[in-house]
C-alpha cells in the first residue's frame, strides 16, 4: 500500500486530469454529500479534497465549505475552479483548526491512503461540534474477473525471478475494507454508524480499450520498466483480455462504500 507521501506525489503529477483518470470520483462525491445530508449553511470541511468532487457538491447544497489537501497542485487548481470556498494545503493528520469548528467533515477516497487513519479520525472528532457528522467514501477493492491480470502482474512485476510470488502482506497491512473502517470509527468514539454500498461497473470495448484505459493510471510507467519484456507482457495482456471478453465481456467492476457517523452530543 502506498504511503501518504507517495500518494501526495502521485496526485501532484495528475492534478490536471485527476477526475478524468478516476472517472467515478465526481459521481461518488455527489452521492457522499447527499448521504451526509447537511442542511444549508452547515460549516463543512472536506479533507483530501482533490479537484473538488465532494466540495462542489457541498457548495451546491448551500454549505460553507473549507477544503484541504496535502497536494499543493490540487489545492491551487481547486481554489482557481471554486473561489467561493476556502482551499488550503494541509496535512490531514495535523489540521490547523480549533476544536468544534465544523458541523460536517467529509473525505472522499482518502482514508485508505492515510499513514495513520486512526490519528486523522481523532482529529476529525476534535474539529466537529457535538452532534456533528463525519462522512467518508471507501473504494471497495476486489480482483473479481480481473484475476488473470493480477496473476500476470505477479509474474512480471514481483521481486526476484519472474515466477517468484510477491511476499504476503503482514497482518493489518492489507487494503482497508468497510468493516475495518467502521471499526476505526467506533474506536475513535463515533456513534450512529450507517453504511451504503455503490456499484460502478465500466464496460470497455475490447482488449485494446482495456490496455488504453490502464496507461494513464500507472500502466505506462510499469510497462516501460519491463524493458525487453514489455512486448511479451503486452501480448499476454491482450490474450488475457481477449479471453475475458469472450467469457462475459470486459467490464471493470468498481465499487465503493459510504460511511456516516456522528460525534456524540
pLDDT at 25: 79
Phi/psi-derived region of residue 193, left when phi > 0, alpha when psi is between -120 and 50, beta in every other case: beta
Distance of CA 252 to the CA centre of its chain: 16
pLDDT at 126: 98
Which run of H or of E encompasses 68?
strand 64-69
The mean pLDDT values, 10 residues at a time, for the chain of 265 residues are: 58 58 78 97 96 95 97 92 96 96 97 93 98 95 77 81 44 73 98 94 91 83 90 95 94 91 96
pLDDT at 123: 98
Interatomic CA distance for residues 198 and 112, integer angstroms: 17
Cβ atoms within 10 Å, residue 256: 22
Q: Give every CB contact of residue 74 below 8 A, 6+ residues apart in sequence.
A: 11, 12, 15, 18, 49, 50, 51
Beta pairing partners, 257:
138, 197
From residue 64, how far is each of 18, 38, 258 by CA, in Å?
A: 24, 11, 22
Q: For residue range 221-231, what is the model confidence (pLDDT) as tens digits?
A: 888 989 999 99
Amino acid at each position: 500500500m502506498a504511503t501518504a507521501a507517495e500518494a501526495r506525489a502521485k496526485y501532484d503529477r495528475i492534478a490536471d486530469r485527476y477526475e478524468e483518470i478516476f472517472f467515478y470520483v465526481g459521481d461518488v462525491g455527489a452521492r457522499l454529500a447527499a448521504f451526509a445530508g447537511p442542511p444549508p449553511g452547515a460549516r463543512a470541511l472536506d479533507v483530501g479534497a482533490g479537484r473538488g468532487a465532494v466540495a462542489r457538491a457541498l457548495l451546491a447544497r448551500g454549505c460553507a465549505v473549507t477544503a484541504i489537501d496535502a497536494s499543493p497542485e490540487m489545492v491551487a487548481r481547486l481554489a482557481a475552479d471554486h473561489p467561493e470556498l476556502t482551499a488550503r494545503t494541509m496535512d490531514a493528520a495535523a489540521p490547523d483548526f480549533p476544536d468544534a469548528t465544523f458541523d460536517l467533515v467529509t473525505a472522499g477516497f482518502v482514508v485508505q491512503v492515510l499513514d495513520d487513519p486512526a490519528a486523522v479520525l481523532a482529529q476529525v472528532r476534535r474539529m466537529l461540534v457535538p452532534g456533528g457528522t463525519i462522512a467518508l467514501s471507501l473504494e471497495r477493492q476486489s480482483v473479481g474477473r480481473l484475476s488473470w491480470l493480477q496473476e500476470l502482474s505477479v509474474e512480471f512485476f514481483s521481486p526476484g525471478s519472474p515466477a517468484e510470488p510477491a511476499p504476503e502482506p503482514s497482518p493489518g497491512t492489507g487494503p482497508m475494507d468497510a468493516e475495518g473502517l467502521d471499526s476505526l470509527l467506533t474506536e475513535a468514539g463515533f456513534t450512529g454508524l450507517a453504511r451504503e454500498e455503490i456499484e460502478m461497473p465500466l464496460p470497455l470495448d475490447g482488449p485494446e480499450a482495456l490496455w488504453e484505459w490502464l496507461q494513464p493510471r500507472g500502466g505506462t510507467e510499469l510497462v516501460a520498466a519491463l524493458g525487453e519484456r514489455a512486448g511479451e507482457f503486452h501480448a499476454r495482456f491482450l490474450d488475457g483480455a481477449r479471453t475475458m471478453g469472450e467469457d462475459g465481456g470486459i467490464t471493470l467492476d468498481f465499487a465503493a462504500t459510504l460511511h456516516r457517523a456522528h460525534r456524540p452530543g
